[in-house]
Chains A and B, each alone.
Chain A
Amino acid sequence: MTTGVEGYMYPNEITLYWSVLIVLYPYITGLVAGAFILASLERVFRVDAVKPTYRLALLTALAFLLVAPLPLQLHLGHPERSLEMYFTPHRTSAMAMFGFVYLWYLMAVLTVEIWLDYRRDIVVMAQSSSGLKRWIYRVLTLGSNNINERALAIDERVGWLITLIGIPSAFLLHGYVGFIFGSIKANPWWSSPLMPVVFIFSAMVSGIAAVMLLYMLIMRLRREKIDMLCVDTIARYLFYIFIVDFSLEMLDLVHRIYEADESFRTLNFMVHTKLYFSQIVLQIFVGTLTPILLLALTQVLKLPEIARKRIYTVAGCLTLIGIFAMRWNVVIGGQLFSKSFLGYTTYKMALATREGLLMSIALTLLPLFILWVLVKLLPPWPEKVQAEIPATTAAN
């Protein structure tokens, strides 16, 4: 029972209750928020170069958002009870209010924006496809086939507005996850007003890296040419945001070191022992400094295309590992030490249980599968649908 405990732990601290699934939860919501911010770059900030990834980013956000509550439900059990959160809203529970933040983002922002953006294609495909697909598209048109210029112009304007609302909403979505941790005043590892901000920036970093990788991967699978201007631009934004993210994390660190409150000795010891590999090695060196240096290289040197692609791929993968390590260090790290500051426990991940390793791998792959279905259903490649538009609608 007490294996893995060093020093003194209170009895209720010995086993970690928040497992690897709770690590996945901020990781996945972070990818959602980040992917959405990338999409809004094109829409609101008019960065035209990233247009090829606009729709892909939206679909990625949706695919991951649909999976985001699953780790929580698997962790808590009784998924049917999650509806109670909406039936009887508990205003003083931060976690219960997340249900509404989630619902708002899913229903008021993401689905509406995707629907508006795809409406023209949906109407076209409802006419050109057959069988089950035809029915799906027909339902998605909501019975309106109006895609004349004025209707599309209205969609464009409303879509812009939704994106505008969507940016603070995406910040809220992931800032809120940070807030849930940052507001736990009993835990010095979490309790920090910087937490939501750090979460937002790390979310942007991971989401942008994920969409960049997905874009390059899908283009490869489709044997199409990667739009280098697009990828270069994404990489540049990734670089900038990464620097902000890193500075914020360092700010937090410096603040903690200088403040050196009563928890400092314990946390410091933990970072040098139990968390050394995941925090210092994986998160900071492998997952942050290396990708930043690699991306900086592409900014200062004139590298050939193939070298840039490779660097982006490596940097993107390392980034995703680093951000995962960051979530891990927050969630797991926050439970490894005793509130008495006199001891440490160990997290032992199960393999084939409801909260084990296999389950978390499945949960990481599930969004990719959903994305695959979404991409089949709502192809993000405008040129393809353009070519398919039958003469009837072209006349409109």
Chain B
Amino acid sequence: MSVFKDSGHLFRLAALYAVGTLTFLGIRAFFVPRSFGQYGHYRGAAIAEIAAHPVHYAGHQACETCHADVQEMKRSGMHAQVNCEACHGPLAKHADDPSIQPAKLDTAVLCVRCHAASAARPKGFPQVAAVDHSNGLPCETCHQPHNPAIGAGGAK
């Protein structure tokens, strides 16, 4: 009997911890989103939210339905495998509504993104030290972007 009386403070401590744990569980229930853990260690609803994001890229098939001429020229050159939007940027809006004009590209910046000489690129990949190679001229002065081999598509 007196053992219980004399350990009363321990029960108080235990009660304090119990209240603390319950408070924590309450806060947790409030803060953890409902769909957490539905598929894995993340919020399940996030998948639907991400799927609902607007599409920015149309894909090259879409471009080719209207720009068959470009596709034709591109097919025979070394850029055949390079996607339209890799150079032109996301153009889903333009593909939906062609009256939205795509931005003009600056080849002095665009081409070196892939072709600037760098030790990290595979040796066989065509690369140039832009300053020496073009002497500041835009690349499309001599290369046709859609079929870049000199003399292939003909410089513009």
A126-165 interface mask toward B, CB cutoff 8 Å, 1 = contact, 0 = none?
0000000000000001111010101100100010000000
- Does B99 count as interface, using CB distance less than 8 angstroms? no
Q: Give me 30 A-to-B residue pairs in the complex whose CB atoms sit less than 8 angstroms apart, sorted by A's number.
A: A83-B31, A86-B24, A87-B28, A87-B31, A87-B32, A88-B36, A88-B37, A88-B41, A90-B41, A107-B17, A112-B13, A115-B13, A119-B9, A141-B9, A142-B13, A142-B16, A144-B8, A144-B9, A146-B6, A146-B8, A146-B9, A148-B6, A150-B2, A151-B6, A151-B7, A151-B9, A154-B3, A154-B6, A154-B7, A154-B10
Which one, B2, B3, B7, B9, contacts A142 given CB within 8 A? B9
Q: How far is A158 from B13 in the complex, measured between Cα atoms in Å?
A: 13
Nearest 6 A/B pairs, CB to CB: A144-B9, A151-B6, A150-B6, A142-B12, A87-B28, A154-B7
> What sequence of 0s and 1s flags, for each residue 84-104 of chain A, a beta carbon within 8 Å of any chain B beta carbon?
001110100000000000000
By a CB distance below 8 angstroms, the chain B residues around A90 are 41
Nearest residue, chain A, Cβ from B30: A87
The digit string for A282-311, where 1 denotes a CB below 8 A from any CB of B, is: 000000000000000000000000000000
Closest beta carbon of chain B to A247's beta carbon, Å:
41
Q: Which residues of B contact A (CB under 8 A)?
A: 2-3, 5-10, 12-13, 16-17, 24, 28, 31-32, 36-37, 41
CB distance from A367 to the nearest CB of B (A): 24
Q: Which residue of A lies closest to B33 (CB)?
A: A88
Distance in angstroms between the alpha carbons of A86 and B17 in the assembled complex: 16
Number of A-B contacts (CB under 8 A): 40
For the complex, give the distance between the alpha carbons of A87 and B37 in Å.
Answer: 12
Q: How far is the CA of A302 from the CA of B5 in the complex (A)?
A: 53
Query: Which chain B residues lie closer than 8 Å to A83 at the CB level?
Result: 31
Rounded to whole Å, the gap between the CB of A90 and the closest CB of chain B is: 6
Give the complex CA separation of A322 and B24 in angstroms. 41
Within 8 A of B (CB), among A69-94: 83, 86-88, 90
Complex: chain B residue closest to A158, CB-CB: B10
Q: Which residue of B lies closest to A157 (CB)?
A: B7
Is the pair B12, A143 in contact by a Cβ cutoff of 8 Å? Answer: yes
Return chain A residues, CB-CB under 8 Å to B16: 142
**Closest CB of chain A to B71's CB: distance in Å?**
36
A107 CA / B41 CA spacing, docked (Å): 27
Residues of B within 8 A of A142 (CB): 9, 12-13, 16
Q: Which B residues are in CB contact (< 8 Å) with A154?
A: 3, 6-7, 10
B8 to chain A: closest residue by CB: A144
Of chain B, the residue at the smallest CB distance from A90 is B41
* Chain B nearest Cβ from A179, distance in angstroms: 21
The interface residues of chain B lying within 8 Å CB-to-CB of A88 are 32, 36-37, 41
Chain A: CB-nearest residue to B12 = A142
Q: Give the shortest distance, in Å, between B20 (CB) and chain A (any CB).
A: 8
Which residues of chain B are within 8 angstroms of A143 by Cβ–Cβ distance? 12
Cβ contacts under 8 Å, B31 to chain A: 83, 87
Inter-chain contact A144/B12, CB cutoff 8 Å: yes
How distant is the Cα of A115 from the Cα of B17 in the complex, in angstroms?
A: 13
User: Closest A-chain residue to B32, C-beta based?
Assistant: A87
> Which residues of chain B are near A141, meaning CB under 8 Å?
9
Known: A87-B32, A142-B13. 13 other contacts (CB 8 A): A83-B31, A87-B31, A88-B36, A88-B41, A107-B17, A119-B9, A142-B16, A144-B9, A144-B12, A146-B5, A150-B6, A154-B3, A154-B10
List B contacts of A144 (CB < 8 A). Answer: 8-9, 12
> Closest CB-CB distance, B142 to chain A, in whole Å?
32
Q: Closest A-chain residue to B17, C-beta based?
A: A107
Bound Cα distance from A146 to B5, whole angstroms: 9
For the complex formed, measure the closest distance between the CB of B79 and the CB atoms of chain A, giving whole angstroms: 27
Closest B residue to A89 by CB, please name it.
B41
